[in-house]
Chains A and B, each alone.
Chain A
Amino acid sequence: MLDSSHYDLLAKYDSTEPEFDPNELATIFEILNLKPLIFVEAKLQEYRALILQTMCEQARVMTELGGEYLSLDNQGLRIEAMRYLIDNIAKITSPFMLDVLAGDVRHRANSPLNYGRDRRSAVQVERSARGSTEY
């Protein structure tokens, strides 16, 4: 997964007027899966605008995917939730998006919100939840 140093870099270009650093820019372009460039200082603001726009678009996609995934998982439909992600997996186009996806899926397994679910196995919960959707 990405670590705090990667997110620090993204935040730097999101919130301040950064100094030109082609190595940093190359790393960010890789994280967002933007086409590699030979960076020139004169275009720094252009790169920054592209980074911000891409982050915004990718975050929006992940909000949609994560929201629907969590909604299904919260109903006890874990397999269906994961199948939803599989159906939409082609929308994951960058390490940034993959990292968010991994965080969402792993978080749900470790979440304190799952406290109490252990009394029934995930298989039993899924079976009951499927039954309750058959109105």
Chain B
Amino acid sequence: MLERRHYELLAKYESSESIDFDANELAIVCGVLNLNFSNLTEARLPEYRTSIVQALHEQSKLLTELSEHINLDNQGLRVEALRYVVQNIAKIKSPFMLDSIVGTVGHRADSPLNYGRGRRSAVVAERLAKVSRTER
């Protein structure tokens, strides 16, 4: 997974503060967002920053759409939630997006919100959730 330092770099390039040109940092940020620039030159720094901010915005928007799986998981429909992610997996286009999805999918299993669910297995909980949904 990405580390705090990666997110600090993203925040640095997303902020409105002026920054010094650093080709290595830029290469890492572009790698995290899956942006492809052939040669990084100082003169084009504002253009790179615009692309970074735009990519962050677009990818965050897609991740918000994908968060539908959290709603399904909260209804006890864990396998259906995972199937939703699988059906939309082609939308994951960067390490930033992969990190977010893996974090969310994994977090749901570890979450304190799941406290008490353990009395019933996930398989039983899913079966009951499906029954109650079809009865609505």
Contact = CB atoms under 8 A, between A and B. Distances in A.
Contacts of A93: 86
Q: Chain A at the B interface: mostly helix, strand, loop or mixed?
A: helix
Contacts of B6: 79, 122-123
Contacts of A90: 89-90
B5 interface: yes
Contacts of B34: 83, 86
B95 A27 contact: no
Given A98-B105, A109-B1, A122-B5, A89 B82 contact: no
Nearest to A30: B79
Given A108-B1, A121-B5, A102 B102 contact: yes
Interface residues of A, number: 42
B14 interface: no
A3 B108 contact: no
Interface of A: 1-6, 8-9, 23-24, 27, 30-31, 33, 78-80, 82-83, 85-86, 89-90, 92-95, 97-99, 101-103, 105-106, 108-109, 121-123, 126-127
5 contacts: A5-B122, A82-B99, A98-B89, A106-B102, A123-B5
Given A93-B86, A105-B99, 10 more contacts: A1-B108, A4-B121, A9-B123, A82-B98, A85-B98, A95-B82, A95-B86, A98-B105, A109-B3, A123-B3
Q: Which 8 pairs show the lowest CB-CB distances between chains A and B? A: A5-B121, A95-B82, A82-B95, A1-B109, A109-B1, A121-B5, A79-B31, A122-B3
